[in-house]
Structure 1
């Protein structure tokens, strides 16, 4: 009560904060008349002036008022748009690393130019992150005119760019791109062996457009780069042989979930079998050293016991082909994940295809937290403010609208079933269509869109159906959704980033109708005609009531509902919004069919009858909050597990960077060799033990295997005062002498390159194996909960131990290779450019369900993904002759990803383009 009273008297914390920013806006406005008098050259020169001020000790905050005023004046001249005062407030919020929540149509794209320009002046690079490639290219082109006028460079990252083009785009003052492109480039950079091959610069500042979509909706699915694993056919076959000898009393099976669990007796028996076959590192099946074996054992038991031939799969042409359990059709090309398909192949005795293995992965949470300053903008973020603060430490600031909102948000209408609801929706749309009021219908899925489309056809209502697959076409149609009598059906994400203007969008009509018309009087006349038509149509739409937004059901998140509502009532326009619900909606089924609410609806409502109630709407909102909390917990779990890997990822990537940047890595190699010797001696001669207890045979084997030496250890053992320190010191001297002799026979520059290559190669190999082990560990660690242990804590402990083992293995491997391998000098190859890193399979994969949508044309949302299939081996860039002689298409400027003109069916870069 007292809180509400204080809020009414003093305003909310958000209102007070926004009000405090008006002082800065007043300073910006005071400079407007002065900058209006500048010539274009003087206005452009402001950028150099600001850079000199920064070099002289001024901060970005010091130059903010004048910089913002400069952008406003430049925008008025170049784009014909002048920033409103509330947009200035939004720019300040973005510059401060916060989230600006601005309603649809308030000009967020223009707001971003203020903070982008100010932070780009330093020359450290600013990244503008968008939800799809179309928006990235569109905004880079449109706003790039403004930045170029002010003397800044602009780059854009889209798929199919070459490494050189990407490097140039990242070197620009401002770089536009999608979250997936930025993330995958970061991962690929940390797989390269030369600093010159990397495309990213050090992270500085990023502005995320539609920040709720990217940092919330997509945050549950990490970015993954994968490649084929080493051949493990023998392991699959060996474990399959063991599993086929299992006694049915040793396991319990659950046909519903297709899971097989070993009994206590079964664990003991299978440990004996696996150990006898030499498949276990230790006798205990569940020791950490046997994590991979446990994973393969689980999959082999599923394959042999739960998956039936000719029911779940068939064997065709010596291949295992999955059968769709719903349709009974063969699913050629589809494979079960996590080694299950390979286990079935081993069971059937067919060729075992290698599984894909994670080479690098990162969550969006950990990627974007690497930016020293991160900000975002969207129309809907307040409902997720707690998550933004917990995960990203970003405050959400609600920016007031430039003109008061006139949209009317009506109460929800409730119906008994889907048919009644859709009949009512179709009727309402027809009524609005007849009076010319434009209607935007939001659905939750493509299936619901098609179902509603059928109802509208029966009503005779002409309409457009969009499903967020083709961004550019989608944007053009959504942009015209405000025209007189237009009816547009769109999924919840369709058209985001595209402004719906009443009467139609002039820019999009120009692009559609005047694209092929040359500059001149005829084009100018056509443009004036379009402007007049849009103005007249706008008046007709205003008379009809503005845009009517209709939701076919409530979404799991209130934020998605608010996004849909926000498409109406732009810039003070009139508008209307209404949601239609029924008992069969996914969200309402959370209440269950036996609740008092459901019984009341079924018993009291006649067919086709609707009710509306504030109480029901409140109940729906409560359900949405519960679902939002559940989804937040799922995202939080993903980032908790990735945080463990992220700490290790930072260590590995920092180590790689140091190796690449160092002229020589002698110190690192020497330390590794000495540490390896210490580990050999410590394992064989534990401190404080008597010499007769030492493992002399083990010491000899370790020295021979890792150092390639055969010292007289037996003679040393006869010495009275011998201790482990003396053995270690002698081994160090011997090893150092061998290395000195080897180095003296090789040119220093070549030897440094060899050391770097070995270090990076072993680091990458064992990191890849470590990721595979962590993947397997994560899939089974939840079983620790049955032992009253917290899975995440167990995962942290096991992952730390595995990381330590990996570092020890890298140290031994590097020492073994440099000590035992002979360097043979081959004739120098012809000079070539640095080869591009091979492009791997890139995926945006759900960690819980393993799903990955391979449709690269669709926007990757929380349930969708991007799959990029890219170049092959690193040497593919150099053809047989190393020149253009064998390429008859070299002068035709063919895209690297286009089909080769020779008709081979391969991409140009894999065919004749490989010789470029």
Structure 2
């Protein structure tokens, strides 16, 4: 109570911080008159003046007021928009590496230009990260008018660009692109073979739009570049048939943890049926030889019990398509990992695509933490403020709105069951429609949206349904959701990417009503003028009816998603209304709510169809949401902790690759590797502190032959007096060097130096790929150490370190063996083709593949490789003679065969 009183008197910490920024706003405003008086050329010349001041030792903070005033004036002259004072505050927060929380419709896109321009003055580049390609292109073109007017270059990263185009875009002062494109370019760069082929330059500053979506929601899944492995479809089908015979007595499920495990009886049934099917060896399911079968059994069980059709995924065109739980959109091309997607495909009886092996991966957390300065903006971030600070060290600043919010947020209504709730919702929507007030209805799944649609049909309510089944029509449906009496049901994705304009949207009405008219023609303008007048009149009627009504049919696990839905109403000072309808059948209450309290309250005190409205119960729901948010945060934090271990190793490997690429010659490294390999072989078979009689002489001879391709007189050496390990090491090293010198006496030194570099890089890549698979398998089972009272993360660190040491030894031995035993060819040989790359992380907002699955430039990666025969898997040849090995085709590009389909859906299909 005392804290609440103090907050009212002194304001919150956020209020005090925002007030402290007012002095900078005053400083910017003080420059406005001076900047306004400049001509266009003089305004453009400000950029060079600022850069010179930076070169003379000035700091960016010193330039902030004048630079912000310059951007504001440039925006007025190019876009006809002037930054509000609250937008200046948002720009200051972004410049300081903080997250600016700004309500929907407050102009976040324009706010970013302030911090982007200021930081781009250093010439080190600024990345603006958006959630989909459409926004990247739109913002680069739209806001690019300001930057180009001020003499700065703007690039945009979208799929299907060549490496040269990407390199040019990254070299620009300001680069727009999606989180997926930036991340995959980083991974692909670290799979290249020369520094010149890399497209990115060192990271400097990034602003992340929709920061909560990218750094929290999408950060649950890492970016992965992978290649196909062996086909195990028969095993998935066989195991799925067995799992489908299980009853509820055979397993226990935990909906909170989304896990399912076999009971003792279930294990016995599984063992019996798997043995009869010949899928396990012996009768014990958990013998070491049956590990793979157990894994597939667990995944099949999870697919059949925990994953629901039309909630977690849908089947479209014979494929299982994931539905994003936060946005409700289809994520075409996105696949669950670790065999789970294959298990769901077996469950649904569709074609089972082969699993993929990871070639490179990184989490968004670790990717974005590589930027020296990182900031973000969104409409909803305060609820996740602790996570943003813990993971990214970014504070969240709530920026006040330019016009006070008039939306009324009513208390939740509670019903006994879902039938009563949906009946009440239908009656409420009918009243609103008769009144002319548009309504946006948020649901949590396709199943619930279609169920509600049936209730509305019974009441005769005209409405539109927007969910993952019909996402192609999303923009058209959402654009008209603000018209008189419109009722729009949306699956947790209300209005993303398209404004809900009260009275309707001119552009989309023209597209829908006059699709044949061309913009700019007299006929088009005549019709547009009529519709524009209708929209003005209609908007006034909607405002009189109370503005947009947002109705939530269920509370989401995250308060942030609820706030996003609410935020669609009451924009830019418009009136609005929001309310949530809940029941005991809702997943949040059923799984996480205080069941006893609610059950007693509802069942004893409520009649059928009766509702209860209480701020106290709304508060209890919010408490349940906080618990779920904390649990989900703990899960994400654990993912980061484990990935940090791999990230440390990833940095070492990538730094080594870069050092190798930058070196003119790695001969010294290769010589050292040979010496260490010789010492290791001697130490293994002739351990220090032992007598010669105890040494493994046959094993020593065999190892020297296998690794070095030599047959030295080891027996003669051992017959000498005072034989020691150091003497053996020195002689073996000398023999190896003499052998290499003899092989290279007729080989051009420059070509051999390049060959050594390429072999070293390719060997490193091959072993790193296997190391990633090993670490992934280790992470799956390390939690079992907790049964021995050991902390899994500590055990994982120790095991991963030992595996990394073994990785380095393996690379050393492999390089030595390859170079010592290589048959050096003097004649030229064509470079081997690269394997097909699959990039796995689909943008959940557009549902489209935002990444080129094949790096269009990788076909030339090995073009400078010297004439050494190093095996690489071949790409399949196209029908009709087109060879993808010599003419790489992006998986999203039209298929060269002329079918009109994308390459990945035609000749580029995997498996």
- TM-score category (smaller protein): 0.7 to 0.9
Greater displacement, 866-875 / 731-740: 866-875
For 2:426 and 2:353, how far apart are their aligned partners in 1? 51
For 1:556 and 1:169, how far apart are their aligned partners in 2? 39
- CA separation of 1:368 and 1:876: change in aligned 2, threshold 3 A: closer
Tell me, what secondary structure is at the counterpart of 2:578?
strand
Tell me, what secondary structure is at the counterpart of 2:360?
strand
Structural RMSD (CA)? 4.2
Q: Which residue of 1 aligns with 2:741?
A: 740
Following superposition, the deviation at residue 165 of structure 1 comes to 3.0
CA contact (8 A) 2:494 2:565 kept: no
Q: Which residue of 2 aligns with 1:684?
A: 685
For 2:88 and 2:299, how far apart are their aligned partners in 1? 62
CA contact (8 A) 1:474 1:494 kept: no
For 1:232 and 1:477, how far apart are their aligned partners in 2? 42
Match runs of 1:414-425 below 5 Å: 414-425=414-425
Tell me, what secondary structure is at the counterpart of 2:104?
coil
Match runs of 1:202-213 below 5 Å: 202-213=202-213
For 2:108 and 2:316, how far apart are their aligned partners in 1? 48
Q: Deviations over 1:88-145 (max 9, x none)?
A: 0000100111000111111111111111121222222222112222222222222122
- CA separation of 1:142 and 1:835: change in aligned 2, threshold 3 A: farther
Following superposition, the deviation at residue 158 of structure 1 comes to 2.5
Q: Which residue of 2 aligns with 1:811?
A: 812
Following superposition, the deviation at residue 187 of structure 1 comes to 1.6
TM-score (norm 2): 0.82
CA contact (8 A) 2:519 2:525 kept: no
CA contact (8 A) 1:120 1:174 kept: yes
| Residue 565 (structure 1) aligned with residue 566 (structure 2) | yes
Q: Which residue of 2 aligns with 1:272?
A: none
For 2:151 and 2:512, how far apart are their aligned partners in 1? 31
TM-score (norm 1): 0.82
Q: Which residue of 2 aligns with 1:36?
A: 36
Following superposition, the deviation at residue 513 of structure 1 comes to 7.4
Q: Which residue of 2 aligns with 1:792?
A: 793
Match runs of 1:266-281 below 5 Å: none
| Residue 485 (structure 1) aligned with residue 482 (structure 2) | no
| Residue 298 (structure 1) aligned with residue 291 (structure 2) | yes
- CA separation of 1:396 and 1:909: change in aligned 2, threshold 3 A: closer
Match runs of 1:358-377 below 5 Å: 358-377=358-377
- CA separation of 1:599 and 1:910: change in aligned 2, threshold 3 A: closer
CA contact (8 A) 1:382 1:396 kept: yes
Following superposition, the deviation at residue 721 of structure 1 comes to 2.8
Following superposition, the deviation at residue 693 of structure 1 comes to 2.4
CA contact (8 A) 1:483 1:538 kept: yes
Tell me, what secondary structure is at the counterpart of 2:760?
helix
Tell me, what secondary structure is at the counterpart of 1:31?
helix
Q: Which residue of 1 aligns with 2:21?
A: 21
CA contact (8 A) 2:446 2:491 kept: yes
Q: Which residue of 2 aligns with 1:765?
A: 766
Match runs of 1:81-160 below 5 Å: 81-160=81-160
- CA separation of 1:42 and 1:483: change in aligned 2, threshold 3 A: farther
Match runs of 1:401-800 below 5 Å: 401-467=401-467, 473-505=473-505, 516-517=517-518, 519=520, 529-590=530-591, 595-800=596-801
For 2:130 and 2:441, how far apart are their aligned partners in 1? 24
- CA separation of 1:553 and 1:507: change in aligned 2, threshold 3 A: same
| Residue 64 (structure 1) aligned with residue 64 (structure 2) | yes
Following superposition, the deviation at residue 810 of structure 1 comes to 0.3
For 1:774 and 1:603, how far apart are their aligned partners in 2? 54
For 2:905 and 2:319, how far apart are their aligned partners in 1? 22
CA contact (8 A) 2:444 2:491 kept: yes
The answer for unaligned runs of 5 or more in structure 1 is 241-252, 263-278, 280-284, 287-292, 313-322, 345-351, 845-855, 888-893
Following superposition, the deviation at residue 230 of structure 1 comes to 7.2
Following superposition, the deviation at residue 566 of structure 1 comes to 1.5
- CA separation of 1:711 and 1:902: change in aligned 2, threshold 3 A: closer
Following superposition, the deviation at residue 355 of structure 1 comes to 4.1
Structure 1 moving runs of 4+ over 6 Å: 230-233, 253-256, 302-308, 329-337, 339-344, 469-472, 510-515, 834-837, 864-868, 876-880, 908-913
- CA separation of 1:911 and 1:557: change in aligned 2, threshold 3 A: closer
Greater displacement, 759-768 / 419-428: 419-428
Q: Deviations over 1:370-425 (max 9, x none)?
A: 11111111111111110101111000011111111111111101111112111111
Q: Which residue of 2 aligns with 1:841?
A: 838
For 1:70 and 1:569, how far apart are their aligned partners in 2? 31
Following superposition, the deviation at residue 653 of structure 1 comes to 1.0
- CA separation of 1:10 and 1:542: change in aligned 2, threshold 3 A: same
Following superposition, the deviation at residue 60 of structure 1 comes to 1.6
For 1:910 and 1:569, how far apart are their aligned partners in 2? 43
Q: Deviations over 1:565-609 (max 9, x none)?
A: 112121222111111001111111135796132132123212221
CA contact (8 A) 2:226 2:839 kept: yes
CA contact (8 A) 1:167 1:199 kept: yes
For 2:615 and 2:701, how far apart are their aligned partners in 1? 82
Match runs of 1:832-871 below 5 Å: 839-844=836-841, 858-859=844-845, 869-870=853-854
Following superposition, the deviation at residue 715 of structure 1 comes to 1.8
For 2:694 and 2:542, how far apart are their aligned partners in 1? 94
Following superposition, the deviation at residue 212 of structure 1 comes to 0.9
- CA separation of 1:139 and 1:508: change in aligned 2, threshold 3 A: farther
Greater displacement, 693-702 / 567-576: 693-702
Q: Which residue of 1 aligns with 2:866?
A: none
Following superposition, the deviation at residue 611 of structure 1 comes to 0.9
Following superposition, the deviation at residue 777 of structure 1 comes to 1.5
